[in-house]
A and B are shown apart, each in its own frame.
Chain A
Amino acid sequence: MGNWRFLVRSVLIYLVVVLLCKSNGEIAPVLDGPPTLLPPIKPQEPDNEAPQPFPNEEISNLPVFTMDYPRIQLPFEITLWILLASFAKIGFHVYHKITIWVPESCLLITIGLIVGAIMHSVQEEPPAVLESNVFFLYMLPPIVLENGYFMPTRPFFENVGTVMWYAVVGSLWNSIGIGLSLYAICQIEAFGVQDINLQENLLFASIISAVDPVAVINVFQDISVNEQLYIVIFAEGLFNDAVTVVLYNMFVFVAALPVVESVDVFLGVARFFVVGLGGLLFGVLFGIVAAFTSRFTSKVREIEPLFVLLFSYLAYLVAELFGISSITAIVVCALTMRYYVEENVSQRSCTTIRHAIKMLATISETLIFFFLGVVTITTEHEWNWGYILGTLLFAFVWRGLGVLVLTQIINPFRTVPFDYQDQFGLAYGGLRGAVCFALVFLLPDTINRRKLFVTASIAIIMFTVFIQGISIRPLIEYLVNIRRTHKQETISVEIHRRVMEHTLTGIEDICGQWSHHYWKDKFKRFNDRYIRKILIRDNRAESSIVALYKRLELLNAMEILDTPNGDISAAPSIISLHDEKKASYRPKKKFHASDLKNMRDILSKNMYKIRQRTVEYTSKHALPDESRNKEILLRRHSTIRRSLRPGSFRDPAVARSQRYLSLHAGESLDAHFPPRGDSRSETDHPFARTRLAQSMRSSSSSSYAMRPLRRLGTLQETPLGEMSGGRPASVDVLNERSSVRYASPSPSPSSRPPSRTASARTAPAPTPRQRPPNTSAAAAARNEAEWETEEELEEVEEEPRAPHPSWAADSAQTRNPLLRQTPRKNP
């Protein structure tokens, strides 16, 4: 249980620091006034004496050692809190299994409870992070920005109606339902809460109707529920917050009124729309401005990420200024600009933006849940069984009823209706979280049962987060059979999806029915024609098929680069293909032990670092991780181009030996390597090259990993010319241009299941059927496959030449040979 160790350690760190602070300057007295951001800064009398070690005698001399804690107290303690929360996060990721079964928010709250208990026992005032301004101006924006920025756009827009329906109407439904029910409870004398009037009940209900599906989202991702359910839960939580905040403000206002007139109700409704649509407007406005700005930042790459953050925050603040929905504003802003900004900024900036957003959001969220735990212990509570149990019950019941009723209404409009399992997921996923917690602490003191509300809110958060949050995974996994989609990213699927979409658009055009696809198509065309031209500097539209293709190709390369970690010979590759094919000509390859060791050395030092860990793109706090792939791709393309330049065709043997001179084991290895007898110019066959580069992604990428292996003289390779009698291959290729030939790696020695990636690597051999399957043709095919392989290897071998001739020599720095150089932009 590494997490406990960490936990204890972090608590200890914190305690040490707190004691340190306390012992110095004696900042003991607890403030009673309104709490500031962090524990009271109140060193009035200690100020004169404490910081100076020798206050009386040596006051005139220059102090050698001073301490001025009050000066740094605020940032210092903020830093410590964040650090503590982060340590906790590290802690329970050390023991990985725990986060699968217990949502992270539960763990954070638990740790918060423990820290709170410790603080309570030493009478430390908790930091007042939940001051209205601190929460809404600093903690909430990162979380919302993250959600908006990483929102899966396509499914969101496909389900936008449903999302809005649940978010807006669902929130209203919950608020009013719970509010009225609680009001009914208040009428029961036995509970002793008759003094809570209807407005206050409604206010409280609006607070606890905001669902926060963070914990559920992670579960849903892990078990890959269907896309519709996922996006509805995800986006509902987001817009739900906006609605709740609006409702809250309205009810706070109303609760302060002595008499509610009917005109106020209408004004409230009008305000509702102003707030929502205003947020939308500001969001789009700032999004476009941000996108437009990013068009001009190509010379100042280092501040590019800042623009994204600043403009989003600006949207939030300006919306806040006018009292319109700032959450909507920032979400819409992020949605609007993302597409354009990511095309404009450099690859690195893009990564930085994503990192920064993820990081800020994670910190905020961690802190909020953490403080939730702390505050639970350290605040005064007012416990009322009737009211609190009523709250729990009604929140649960109304959520369930709401989903049931709202789904019945929306289903006829949906093309994929939600079935009962989905509805269960929706209802049960209604956890309460950060916003609810923050809002209740913002309640004005004029509300006389404030403490009860705080207690009830914390109770419902705890209940939902712990009980529902922990039980939802087993429930969904074993009991409820929610439709799941196992997404498999393949080019074929992408191609067919696009075909289908275009077909649908076409059919809509033909039958003159304008609906979804029609408008999407129109928008896309408008976007391509005008918006992109204005907002994007380098306007090159890329089809999603091509994008996916590139990504897959690179992922594959990465994967194969990883394999040498284990058994090298297990990696299915062109090399092994060679060997299998040539088995009749020569003995099976054998490595000397020393060579093997050298190989491992080189591979592990130079290549293994490339891909530390694959992270799920959508996972809550994991960063999407495509950037590196792209960099490699760019590099690869540039090397292909370079290799096509006539000047770059030196004698391969010479080039190779030069390159490997610096390799500590290399010299001896190279001596064994027979020079290849092909002097044909590759420029003559550009087609063959491109084709290979594209169709043989598996082989090409595997040759990355296996390249050093080939150089080992112990392979005892025969020159190709001897083997197949003077290489008729090039002629063959020219003739075969119309039909493709796939290099056909032999059976993979590894016992890998034929999953997509694995099988793509051990690519079977589809060959055109025009080819008569007689033996001579097969032999020719084999021959050509080998030729292609050689080609591929050669092309790849160009790579390390470019950055450094001695890439292996500085392997001690464990630098990555493939990523060393900034990718050259395509001219």
Chain B
Amino acid sequence: MGGFHSVPQDHRYRDLADKTGFSLEQIGNLHNRFKQLSHNEDTLRKDDFNKIPDLACNPIRAQIIEAFFDKRNFQSHGGGTVEEIGFEEFITVMSYFRPPSLNMSEEQREELRRVKLRFLFNMHDTDNDGTITLEEYRHVVEELLSRSGALCRETAKGIADAAMLEVASISMGHMEPDEFYEGITFEHFLTILKGIEIESRMHIRFLNVDTTVLCK
């Protein structure tokens, strides 16, 4: 843990802490983990993620990893993907998963909710055109169900189709028979997920202890 108490590191951490809202300790821990994953390089590549053993069983592993390389998630404008990310990008993506703070006003809560949902939305909207199309939706459902074995792709498709129909009926109300539903826009996405308290559910408890020694 020697590195991060030195002065330049500390300064850098402080900047990151301001930007992402993590505490210095948490940033230190995450940096250790970052270095562990990248084998002490400055940047992480997709291969490094693919090597994480715990992640191997995750059905939507590809999407999760993709999210780390998606420019939309770096709080800067512009889409597209990058090949490798530095620590700053890493921690920026992580900051989407910070728990809500104790005292938040309604607006802050709503803002947090939008930000978090935007992250999820971006995970689905792979081509960055502002809508989740049926193909993208089907893909997600297929991936999700891919681990449960007995189900064939047709089932997944059927479910995705039904879900899409459902979204259409919820968000558009009644449509004319020859009207087309383009796909789920972000607004619709917000509407359909009104039921889950995403701002309080989508978070990780970032511990203040360093667990890198225990991880593989």
Contact = CB atoms under 8 A, between A and B. Distances in A.
Interface string A666-692: 000000000000000000000100110
A584 interface: no
B41 to A, nearest CB: 16
Nearest to A513: B207
Given A495-B141, A541-B149, A765 B206 contact: no
Interface string A529-559: 0000000000011110110010001000000
A760 B59 contact: no
A700 B214 CA distance: 53
A503 B163 contact: no
Interface residues of A, number: 83
B120 A500 contact: yes
A412 B164 CA distance: 39
Contact of A508 (B145, B149, B204): B204
B177 interface: yes
Nearest to A226: B197
A742 to B, nearest CB: 6
B4 to A, nearest CB: 16
A506 B181 contact: no
Interface in B156-186: 157-159, 161-170, 172-183
B8 to A, nearest CB: 23
A421 to B, nearest CB: 14
B162 A491 contact: yes
A768 interface: yes
A495 B163 contact: yes
B155 interface: yes
Contacts of B212: 512
**Which of A412, A510, A754 has the most CB atoms of chain B within a 10 A radius of its CB?**
A510
B25 to A, nearest CB: 12
A744 B192 contact: no
A543 B175 CA distance: 31
Contacts of B178: 744, 765, 767, 773, 778, 781-782
A610 to B, nearest CB: 22
Contacts of B179: 744, 764-765, 767
Contacts of B170: 490, 492, 756, 759
A407 B207 CA distance: 22
Contacts of B67: 503
A516 interface: yes
Interface string A737-776: 0011010111110000010100110111111110101000
A222 interface: no
B155 A546 contact: yes
A526 to B, nearest CB: 12
Contacts of B60: 499, 502-503, 506
Nearest to B44: A510
B166 A496 contact: no
A509 interface: yes
Given A415-B99, A506-B60, A546-B148, A499 B120 contact: yes
Contact of A766 (B49, B58, B141, B181): B181
B192 A416 contact: no
Nearest to A781: B178
Contact of B166 (A412, A490, A500, A517): A490
Contacts of B166: 490-492, 756, 760
**Which of B33, B145, B178, B200 has the most CB atoms of chain A within a 10 A radius of its CB?**
B178
B49 A760 contact: no
B115 interface: no
A546 B145 contact: yes
A505 B63 CA distance: 13
B107 interface: no
A498 interface: yes
State the main secondary structure of chain A at its contact with B. Answer: helix
A486 B195 contact: yes
B202 interface: yes
A514 B123 CA distance: 23
A549 B159 contact: yes
Contact of A746 (B144, B148, B177, B180): B177
B94 interface: yes
A778 B57 CA distance: 44
B167 to A, nearest CB: 5
B213 to A, nearest CB: 10
Contacts of A504: 97, 202-204
Contact of B196 (A496, A503, A516, A695): A496
A290 interface: no
B148 A512 contact: no
A529 to B, nearest CB: 10
Contacts of A497: 196
Nearest to A747: B174
Interface string B188-213: 00001111111011111111000110
B148 A695 contact: no
Contacts of A417: 102
**Which of A546, A746, A782, A785 has the most CB atoms of chain B within a 10 A radius of its CB?**
A546
A496 B120 CA distance: 8
Contacts of A690: 154-155, 158
Contact of A765 (B30, B176, B183): B176
B157 A691 contact: yes
Nearest to B175: A764
B165 A760 contact: yes
Contacts of B167: 492
Given A500-B198, A510-B55, A769 B183 contact: yes
A513 B206 contact: yes
Contacts of A295: none
A525 interface: yes
A515 B204 contact: yes
Nearest to B60: A502
Contacts of A411: 102
B84 to A, nearest CB: 15
A502 B204 contact: no
B174 A759 contact: yes
A511 interface: yes
A691 B161 contact: yes
Contacts of A442: none
Given A507-B204, A545-B141, A769 B150 contact: no
Contact of B162 (A485, A694, A764): A694
A543 B145 contact: yes
B144 A502 contact: yes
Interface in B93-116: 94, 97, 99-100, 102
A693 B157 CA distance: 11
Contacts of A760: 165-166, 169
Contacts of A260: none
Given A512-B215, A695-B161, A759-B174, A415 B144 contact: no
A601 to B, nearest CB: 33
A418 B123 CA distance: 31
A416 B200 contact: yes
**Which of A502, A543, A691, A773 has the most CB atoms of chain B within a 10 A radius of its CB?**
A543
B134 interface: yes
A184 interface: no
Nearest to A543: B148
A785 to B, nearest CB: 7
Nearest to A518: B54
A615 interface: no
16 contacts: A491-B163, A495-B163, A496-B193, A500-B120, A502-B60, A502-B64, A521-B57, A525-B57, A540-B149, A546-B155, A694-B155, A694-B159, A742-B161, A748-B174, A762-B169, A764-B168
Closest 10 pairs between A and B when the two form their complex, measured CB to CB:
A694-B158, A766-B181, A764-B175, A695-B161, A744-B177, A509-B54, A506-B64, A759-B169, A778-B178, A512-B215
Given A491-B162, A549-B159, 4 more contacts: A491-B166, A512-B36, A545-B145, A745-B177
Interface of B: 29-30, 33, 36-37, 49, 52, 54-55, 57-61, 63-64, 67-68, 94, 97, 99-100, 102, 120, 123-124, 133-134, 140-141, 144-145, 148-151, 154-155, 157-159, 161-170, 172-183, 192-198, 200-207, 211-212, 214-215
